């Protein structure tokens, strides 16, 4: 309790771990809540939770509440999952895919992921996972970073098509991206061009928490 109170004045780190995938991981009390950070960016909770909450609000909490199957590519500490379960009161089956075993362990130990009965976390590479679908989803959330770097495959046409294939009719993709330089703006424009036809409806939420742009794609047929 003392560390939580102290965190309103200064951040208090309670756990550090090296990771082969994420390099460095820290669990910290900040402003009265636990957050998960990598060396250079926020991985879960804090600003990231605010970013993803805005995306879900844009889709509509009521729509999300009525969904049956949700896929989260990039779990980290599970902040978007907590929003879906605790704030939206979703009873959907949630499949989380996380490549970093160390992150999964932290999510279970510090962020309560093991207490969510409708959650299944799979240790797998997101690219590999979308190649072997077992079901269709009403919502696919993409939130994948290696520290502050977004893997290039996320923006490739083949991966985008595979994710779109996984959607049910009127399903949504919510893609959290980071824009740190001008070429990232063009990268996002190129990505969106893959969905510029009558089969999809596209919108963006730019400059969320300064450097993030949330892309929302609805599959119409």
- Asked if 113 and 144 touch (Cβ cutoff 8 Å), the reply is no
Mind listing the pLDDT tens digit for each residue in 166-188?
A: 999 999 999 999 888 889 999 99
Residue with tokens 């990268």: 187
The CATH number covering residue 74 comes to 3.40.50.150
Q: Is residue 12 part of a domain?
A: no
Query: Does 98 reside within a domain?
Result: yes
Q: What is the pTM of this model?
A: 0.91
| 136 is a domain residue | yes
pLDDT at 32: 81
What per-residue confidence (pLDDT) applies to 13? 86
Q: Which domain holds residue 159?
A: 51-219
Q: Classify residue 177: in a domain, yes or no.
A: yes
Total number of domains in the chain: 1
Of 171, 163, 116, 158, nearest to 143 (Cα)? 163
Query: Using the 8-state DSSP alphabet, how is residue 198 labeled?
Result: T
């Amino acid at each position: 309790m003392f560390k939580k109170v102290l965190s309103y004045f200064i951040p208090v780190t309670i756990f550090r771990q090296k990771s082969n995938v994420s390099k460095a991981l820290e669990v910290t009390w900040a402003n009265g809540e636990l957050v998960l950070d990598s060396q250079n960016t926020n991985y879960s909770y804090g600003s990231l939770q605010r970013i993803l909450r805005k995306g879900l609000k844009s889709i509509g909490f009521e729509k999300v509440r009525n969904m049956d199957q949700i896929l989260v590519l990039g779990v980290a500490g599970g902040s978007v999952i907590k929003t879906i379960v605790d704030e939206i009161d979703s009873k959907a089956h949630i499949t989380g895919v996380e490549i970093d075993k160390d992150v999964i362990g932290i999510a279970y130990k510090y962020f309560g992921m093991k207490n969510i009965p409708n959650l299944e976390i799979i240790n797998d590479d997101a690219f590999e996972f979308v190649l072997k679908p077992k079901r269709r989803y009403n919502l696919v959330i993409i939130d994948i970073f290696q520290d502050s770097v977004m893997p290039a495959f996320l923006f490739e046409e083949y991966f985008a098509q595979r994710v779109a294939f996984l959607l049910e009719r009127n399903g949504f993709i919510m893609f959290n991206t980071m824009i740190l330089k001008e070429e990232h703006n063009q990268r996002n424009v190129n990505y969106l061009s893959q969905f510029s036809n009558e089969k999809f409806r596209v919108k963006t939420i730019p400059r969320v928490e300064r450097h993030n742009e949330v892309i929302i794609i609805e599959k119409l047929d």
